[in-house]
Amino acid sequence: MEPVRGAGRQMRTGPLGIMSALPEELAAILALVDEAKTAEVAGRRLHRGQLRGHDVVLTLSGMGKVATALTTTLLIERFGVGGLLFSGVAGGLGPGVQVGDVVLARTLVQHDLDASPLCPRYQVPDLGMDELPTDHRLRAALVAAARTVVQAPPAAAAAFGLKQPRVHEGLVISGDRFIASTAQAATLLKELPRALAVEMEGAAMAQVCAAYCLPCAVLRLVSDRADDQAHVDFQRFLSEVASPMSREIISRAVAAWPQPAPG
């Protein structure tokens, strides 16, 4: 894999765009937003307001890479966002990544992108890179917040047998497939051994941000191990554990971010 290019971009003026794939995830974050005004564009409902003193625009990404690329472009072109954050759940892949853990993407790869022999597997042809970077400052704020939040997980976490959730930073992989098979998860890990978690949106947002030279971050709560064991109770986990934890991490991280520099 190539070295990461373009990490650490300066946050520009303009609101922070926040996306989630699922309504429960978005609703939890929306509860933090003051004076939300809504607009409808391209089948998306966008909510503008203030979160811990920062201008934000929140919306559902839609599920999968194309929907997410569309929504990211919309946030940049129509709402002038200066940076983007994706928050949602993911399947844990790495050996130590368990249900309830927090994963912050350092880089993202599209595990289902293969234009070989025209260019190497995973390479995004128009960018000439395979690992798409996230912004180290946004990520650092989220990691610090996550380390605090995992010390006191929601009471409901105990009902899912979660003990002490951990915080991981590294490679997250995205593709247009929900992984729910031990064999598929093993194949992905064999092909991309550093992958911590798998989801369906993050790399698409990161690709658009790379094209626009905008900073981004991806925060994921691990909801399953991407295997064929029936998941505990996905909806309950989402509403009682994952969404409240993500909301608390975002609240603390955004409060700690400096206001963007003008210009």
Is 62 among the residues that bind ligand ADE (CB under 6 A)?
no
* Contact range with ligand ADE by CB under 6 A, out of 11-19, 47-55, 83-91, 121-129: 83-91
Q: Is position 224 annotated as part of the catalytic site?
A: yes
Q: Minimum Å distance from CB 240 to ligand ADE?
A: 16
Q: What whole-number distance in Å separates Cα of residue 225 and Cα of residue 93?
A: 6
* Contact range with ligand ADE by CB under 6 A, out of 25-33, 38-46, 209-217, 218-226: 218-226
Q: What whole-number distance in Å separates Cα of residue 159 and Cα of residue 152?
A: 14
Q: Is the CB of 15 or the CB of 94 nearer to ligand ADE? A: 94
Angle between helices 202-212 and 65-79 (to 10 degrees): 40
Q: Minimum Å distance from CB 170 to ligand ADE?
A: 17
Q: Is the CB of 28 or the CB of 89 nearer to ligand ADE? A: 89
Is 90 among the residues that bind ligand ADE (CB under 6 A)?
yes
Q: Is position 25 annotated as part of the catalytic site?
A: yes
Q: Minimum Å distance from CB 195 to ligand ADE?
A: 11
User: What tokens were used for 136?
Assistant: 């180290």
Binding mask 172-201 for ligand ADE (x = CB under 6 A): ------xxx-----------------xxx-
Q: What whole-number distance in Å separates Cα of residue 102 and Cα of residue 249?
A: 10
Size of the site for ligand ADE (CB under 6 A): 12
The residue within the footprint of ligand ADE, chosen from 11, 69, 173, 226 (CB under 6 A), is: 226
Closest CA to 201 of 101, 94, 63: 63
Is 242 among the residues that bind ligand ADE (CB under 6 A)?
no
* H or E element at residue 202: helix 202-212
Is 89 among the residues that bind ligand ADE (CB under 6 A)?
yes
Is 68 among the residues that bind ligand ADE (CB under 6 A)?
no
Q: Give Cα separations from 167 to 103, 149, 196 (angstroms).
A: 6, 10, 11
Q: What whole-number distance in Å separates Cα of residue 124 and Cα of residue 110?
A: 8
DSSP states along 27-63 = HHHHTT-EEEEEEEETTEEEEEEEETTEEEEEEE--S
Angle between helices 243-256 and 23-30 (to 10 degrees): 40
The residue within the footprint of ligand ADE, chosen from 82, 91, 100, 244 (CB under 6 A), is: 91
Angle at 185 between CA 181 and CA 191, to 5 degrees: 145
Q: Minimum Å distance from CB 230 to ligand ADE?
A: 12
User: What tokens were used for 49?
Assistant: 């307001």
The residue within the footprint of ligand ADE, chosen from 68, 123, 223, 246 (CB under 6 A), is: 223
Tell me the Ramachandran region of residue 170: left when phi exceeds 0, alpha when psi lies from -120 to 50, beta otherwise: left
Which of 224, 227, 240, 248 is the catalytic position?
224
- What is the set of active-site residues? 25, 224
Q: Footprint of ligand ADE on this chain (CB under 6 A)?
A: 89-91, 178-180, 198-200, 223-224, 226
